[in-house]
Amino acid sequence: MAGADVIAWRLIRSIFRELEEDRSREIHVTDLVYECPRRAYYEKVYGYGVTSLQSAFVLWIGKKLHETGMDGCDHEVAVEGELGGVRVVGSIDELCEGGDLIVDKKTTRRIPRQPHEHHVLQVLIYALLLQKMGRRVPRRGAIVYIDVANAETKSYEFPITATALASVEKEVAPRARELATALATGKPPKPRPGWLCNYCSYVRRCALDGE
């Protein structure tokens, strides 16, 4: 291997090591945003489903983006609380305007025409945990999409209401309980086939595990 290739490989190994160090058995907000809890289970048991150098770089770039704070905002605000009797933790990218606005940053290869539902759900769970902590409940949320390939950005803002938070708790509490039970027993949760399967790195393992 040429000298330059050796140097590049050292960087690549560092990227994979950082991604592996991020793995945690705690249940995070991001584990609850998809209808299928099996993906979150596999990530905690087997690590990130990085199947190529390209996917590793995408994850790494997103990680570095989240480490950069926005001016005038509280950065990486820790939240936690019980959902369905299960402790859930998370880290808000940016809490702005005196706590009135949650901003979540997302890297993407193509900016969507509207915010993805699971990204909005993530912000709403953050707001719900703030409420459970006795903190001020933000009235607004925003998703900022960053197209790293074309250097384009777009943000979408939406209201956070008491009705929405009550609905979110009913939706995600059962997921939290199911994931916690799976991790405790070592038995994967029941799969929920859907659009996420087209992007999931664990499709083959999921098929082997069956129902």
* pLDDT of 75: 95
Residue 73 backbone phi and psi in degrees, to 5: -125, 155
pLDDT tens for the chain, 211 residues: list them: 455 567 766 766 676 666 565 557 899 999 999 999 999 999 888 876 555 566 666 667 777 777 888 999 999 999 999 999 999 999 999 999 999 999 999 988 889 999 999 999 999 999 999 999 999 999 999 999 998 778 899 999 999 999 999 999 999 999 999 999 999 999 999 999 998 888 888 888 999 998 7
Give the residue among 37, 43, 120, 38 at the shortest CA–CA distance from 84: 37
Are the C-beta atoms of 110 and 128 separated by less than 8 Å?
no
- 2 backbone φψ class: left, alpha, beta (φ>0; ψ -120 to 50): beta
Burial class from Cβ neighbours inside 10 Å (0-12, 13-18, 19+) for residue 54 reads exposed
* pLDDT of 90: 96
- 83 backbone φψ class: left, alpha, beta (φ>0; ψ -120 to 50): beta
* pLDDT of 151: 84
* pLDDT of 57: 67
* pLDDT of 1: 45
* pLDDT of 22: 56
Sorted by where each starts, the structural domains of the chain and their CATH numbers stand as: 3-209 (3.90.320.10)
Give the residue among 100, 108, 102, 57 at the shortest CA–CA distance from 76: 102
Give the residue among 146, 183, 210, 131 at the shortest CA–CA distance from 25: 183
Strand partners, 74: 95
* pLDDT of 148: 79
* pLDDT of 58: 67
Q: Is 128 helix (H, G, I), strand (E, B) or coil?
A: helix
Beta strand 27-28 with 86-96 is parallel
* pLDDT of 47: 76
Q: For residue 21, give every residue at least 6 positions away whose Cβ sits within 8 Å of its Cβ, in sequence order, or none.
A: none
State the angle between helix axes of 162-185 and 117-132 in degrees (0 to 180), rounded to the nearest 10: 90
pLDDT tens track for 41-96: 998 888 765 555 666 666 677 777 778 889 999 999 999 999 999 999 999 999 99
Separation of alpha carbons 3 and 149, rounded Å:
28
- 166 backbone φψ class: left, alpha, beta (φ>0; ψ -120 to 50): alpha
In this structure, what token pair is assigned to residue 163?
């009705």
